Structure 1
Amino acid sequence: MVLKLYGLTTSTKTRSVAQICKEKEIPYELITVDLRAGEQKLPPHLAIQPFGQVPVIDDDGFILYESRAIGRYLATKYANQGTPNLIPTNPKELAFFEQAASIELSNFEPHAYGVCFEKVFKLRRGLQTDEAALAKHLETLNAKLDAYEVILSKQKYLAGDYVTLADLYHLPFGMMVEGLGYDVFQRRPNVARWWNDISNRPSWSAVKNGA
């Protein structure tokens, strides 16, 4: 049975899961959930995602939601195909992966999302950008990426010397921030090297415009 991916082709988190499927060579069928029409809040979707969000996967009857949980599941179940070591198994390397995953979740996404929220998502809802909030998110994001520069001066990727989920999870909101014209990556040589590497992966090229 082909993996079913419930989401919207342009959704950041749907594309994140789709990218992992590409990395792990997992065929999938995208089942469109029309977020603008509110389909995610209707009973059929709430039956598989009680918070009314996307994405959700159905892997031959195994239902799972939350994009990071999905990514970990797919990387673990299909460890022996596609890109290796998206989640390391060596205890020390796994610890570095968990550290990197926490860095992305705690230090990067809140502020990258904050920029996108102020410049994209609020406007879609007919709301105005809070320029002070936007400036604060950009200031904090740049400070966090200064720390990234230190980390990436010592290793190729955020968890070590090969790509992991922790790197890939930066792509949807990072690309959106860059697309808004904010130079947060290229001004730092090691961050730029890392960003250009992960953002040009074939898996991301395949899904960046739609899962």
Structure 2
Amino acid sequence: MVLKLYAAPIARGSSGVVAFVLAEKQIPFELIVVDMSANDHKTAEFLAMHPFGQVPVINDDGFILYEGRAICRYPAEKYADQGTPLLPPTLEGRALVEQAASIEYANFYPAIAKLGMELVANPRRGLPVNQVVVTQALAELSTTLDVYDTILGKQKFLAGDQFTLADVFHLIAAPRLASEGVDILTTKGPNLARWWNEVISRLAWVRLQAEGIKSTPSW
């Protein structure tokens, strides 16, 4: 049974990152489009899979899993020897991935999410931008990125010299913000810019942005 991915077809957010991981791992899947505007995510059938009524969700031969970061870890583990190795083979290497992934979740993502709400979501809803929140979030993000630039001056990626899930998770929100003109990841430091440009230039990601999410993509 082919893996089923329940998501919107637009390649952004957690759904886009899950599709990216499936592409990197060369895992065939069937896209089940969830139309949020039609409240497909609030049906009894969908809520039985994801009690919070969100995307993405996967169904791998009856095994249901939700939450983007958790979903990404699953194929990286299950198909470790297939496609791009997104987790190192050693305990120490995997611990370093979890360390970097924890920093993304606790330090990087919260600041990016605040900026996304104020600079993208609120204007589209006709709501005013809270400049105090923007200034605070930019300061928080700047502090994190200063450390990132130092780390990336010593190694190629955030968990070492291998591209891993720790790097992948940064694609959840940052590209959307960059498309709205907040491109701090390429201007904060040379090592940071080199890393980020390499991440967003990966073939699977470039194709996802051009084509959106499709069943069993041909990359």
Q: Secondary structure at the match of 1:36?
A: helix
1:6-25 paired onto structure 2 within 5 Å: 6-10=6-10, 11-25=12-26
Q: Secondary structure at the match of 2:173?
A: helix
Note the C-alpha offset of 1:41: 1.6
Note the C-alpha offset of 1:164: 0.3
Work out the CA distance in 2 between the residues paired with 1:124 and 1:41. Answer: 23
Work out the CA distance in 2 between the residues paired with 1:132 and 1:36. Answer: 32
Name the structure 1 match of 2:206: 205
Name the structure 2 match of 1:165: 165
Work out the CA distance in 2 between the residues paired with 1:41 and 1:129. Answer: 30
Q: For residue 139 of structure 2, what is the amino acid of its counterpart?
A: E
Work out the CA distance in 2 between the residues paired with 1:40 and 1:59. Answer: 19
Name the structure 2 match of 1:71: 72
Structure 2 residue runs of 5 or longer lacking an equivalent are 214-219
- Note if contact 2:120-2:177 (Cα within 8 Å) is conserved in structure 1: no
Work out the CA distance in 2 between the residues paired with 1:58 and 1:126. Answer: 37
Name the structure 2 match of 1:194: 195
1:30-41 paired onto structure 2 within 5 Å: 30-41=31-42
Q: Secondary structure at the match of 1:5?
A: strand
TM-score of the superposed pair, with normalisation by structure 2? 0.91
1:81-120 paired onto structure 2 within 5 Å: 81-84=82-85, 86-120=86-120
Work out the CA distance in 2 between the residues paired with 1:139 and 1:37. Answer: 38
TM-score of the superposed pair, with normalisation by structure 1? 0.94
**Deviating more after overlay: 119-128 vs 164-173:** 119-128
Work out the CA distance in 1 between the residues paired with 2:150 and 2:166. Answer: 17
Q: Secondary structure at the match of 2:58?
A: strand
Q: Secondary structure at the match of 1:160?
A: coil
Work out the CA distance in 1 between the residues paired with 2:117 and 2:34. Answer: 21
Work out the CA distance in 2 between the residues paired with 1:141 and 1:197. Answer: 20
Work out the CA distance in 2 between the residues paired with 1:22 and 1:183. Answer: 26
Work out the CA distance in 2 between the residues paired with 1:186 and 1:156. Answer: 15
Q: Deviations along 1:95-138, whole A, 9 cap, x unmatched?
A: 11111110111111111111111122233444332222122112
Coordinate RMSD, CA, aligned:
1.3
Note the C-alpha offset of 1:7: 1.0
Q: 4+ runs of 1 displaced by more than 6 Å?
A: none
Name the structure 2 match of 1:177: 177
Work out the CA distance in 2 between the residues paired with 1:194 and 1:154. Answer: 12
Work out the CA distance in 1 between the residues paired with 2:108 and 2:156. Answer: 18
Work out the CA distance in 2 between the residues paired with 1:38 and 1:129. Answer: 28
Residue-pair matches, total:
210
Identity of aligned residues (%): 48
Structure 1 residue runs of 5 or longer lacking an equivalent are none
Work out the CA distance in 2 between the residues paired with 1:200 and 1:68. Answer: 21
**Deviating more after overlay: 159-168 vs 86-95:** 86-95
Note the C-alpha offset of 1:37: 2.4
Name the structure 2 match of 1:154: 154
Name the structure 2 match of 1:57: 58
Note the C-alpha offset of 1:36: 2.2
